[in-house]
């Protein structure tokens, strides 16, 4: 019986190609584009219509707020490992390395944004942006000719300058202090294991608990730090 009803080959296995004349197929492309799920879009469609697909995503993607402030400010001497620490705090979270400007070209929903080597000239140009990027509220970032939603959990600054040196204006410093956890990086415990000592730079006046990912790097007893570094 099976031999009588079997359809003769040849056979072709795989996904059915998208039909350009099918409204249903184009609806699926639109749905995937709005969700940013580019893997579900056929390669030939993605390449041919990439700009329009990106625009669909940008126009429909929603910004998200955070349950707490997002800023982390890590300062310490040059070469001590601040950049390494910034990338070690949240294992598994995708990282976007921010160029020292207001644009987010190439940002793809990374949950950790890092601005390395914050310099004294930067606050005068970017204070407004620093405030909105580190606050808990949803925000869009600028790209050339458009904006995109920033869905980061953390915005980390590293700098050779202390928080007071960086933000000399009192009101600005207070505003940024409300949005950032501030830490001084003191020393490696073991340069091979890359385990760091980090010292809180100031008592948190807003009674915020230190994120557990940071807490594990902290030695709160300065005498313990002195004893440990003396053994290096």
Instruction: Report the distance separating Cα 183 and Cα 162, nearest Å.
Output: 9
Alpha carbon dihedral 153, 159, 164, 167, in 10-degree steps, equals: -70
Higher pLDDT, 13 or 71: 71
Q: In the prediction, which pLDDT does 113 show?
A: 98
What's the pLDDT at 126? 94
pLDDT per residue over 198-218, tens digit each? 555 444 556 667 777 777 666
Residue 27 predicted with pLDDT over 50: yes
| Chain mean pLDDT for the chain | 79
Residue boundaries of the structural domains of the chain: 21-61, 71-230
pLDDT tens track for 83-110: 988 898 888 999 999 999 999 998 988 9
CATH class of the domain comprising 71-230: alpha beta
Q: For residue 218, what are the β-bridge partners?
A: 198
% of the chain with per-residue pLDDT over 70: 72
Q: Could you tell me which residues are beta bridge partners of residue 149? A: 140
CA-CA distance, 26 to 191, in Å (whole number)?
Answer: 55
Average pLDDT in the 151-161 region? 94
- The answer to which of 54-58, 94-98, 148-152 has the lowest mean pLDDT is 54-58
Burial of 166 (0-12, 13-18, 19+ CB in 10 A): buried
Residue, of 116 and 59, whose pLDDT is higher = 116
Which of 24-38, 87-101, 150-164, 200-214 has the weakest average pLDDT?
200-214
Asked if 178 contacts 206 with a C-beta cutoff of 8 angstroms, the reply is yes
What pLDDT is recorded for position 157?
96
Largest CA distance in the chain: 88
How remote is the C-alpha of 167 from its chain's centroid? 23
Per the structure block, which two tokens stand in for 131? Answer: 């405030």
Distance of CA 55 to the CA centre of its chain: 21
pLDDT the model gives residue 79: 83
For 151-192, list the strands marked E by DSSP: 154-159, 180-190
Cβ atoms of 87 and 95 closer than 8 Å:
yes
Mean per-residue pLDDT, 117-125: 92
pLDDT tens readout for residues 64-79: 788 778 899 998 888 8
What's the confidence (pLDDT) of residue 202?
46
Please indicate, yes or no, whether the overall pTM of this predicted structure exceeds 0.95: no
141: tokens are 């970032």
What one-character DSSP code corresponds to residue 158? E
CA separation for the pair 68, 87 (Å, rounded): 20
């Amino acid at each position: 019986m099976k031999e009588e009803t079997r359809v003769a080959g040849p056979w072709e296995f795989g996904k059915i190609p998208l039909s350009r004349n099918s409204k249903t197929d184009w609806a699926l492309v639109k749905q995937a584009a709005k969700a940013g799920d580019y893997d579900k879009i056929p390669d030939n469609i993605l390449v041919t219509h990439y700009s329009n697909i990106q625009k669909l995503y940008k126009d429909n993607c929603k910004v998200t707020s955070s349950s707490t402030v997002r800023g982390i400010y890590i300062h310490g001497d040059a070469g001590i490992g601040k950049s390494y620490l910034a990338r070690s705090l949240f294992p598994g979270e995708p990282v976007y390395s921010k160029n020292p400007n207001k644009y987010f070209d190439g940002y793809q929903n990374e949950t950790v944004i890092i601005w390395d080597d914050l310099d004294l000239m930067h606050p005068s140009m970017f204070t407004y942006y620093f405030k909105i990027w580190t606050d808990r509220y949803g925000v869009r970032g600028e790209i050339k000719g458009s904006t995109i939603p920033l869905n980061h959990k953390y915005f980390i600054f590293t700098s050779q300058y202390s928080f007071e040196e960086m933000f000399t204006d009192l009101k600005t410093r207070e505003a940024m202090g409300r949005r950032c956890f501030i830490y001084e990086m003191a020393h490696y415990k073991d340069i091979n294991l890359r385990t760091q000592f980090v010292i809180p730079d100031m008592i948190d006046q807003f009674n915020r608990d230190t994120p557990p990912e940071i807490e594990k790097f902290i030695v709160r007893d300065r005498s313990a730090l002195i004893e440990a570094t003396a053994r290096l």
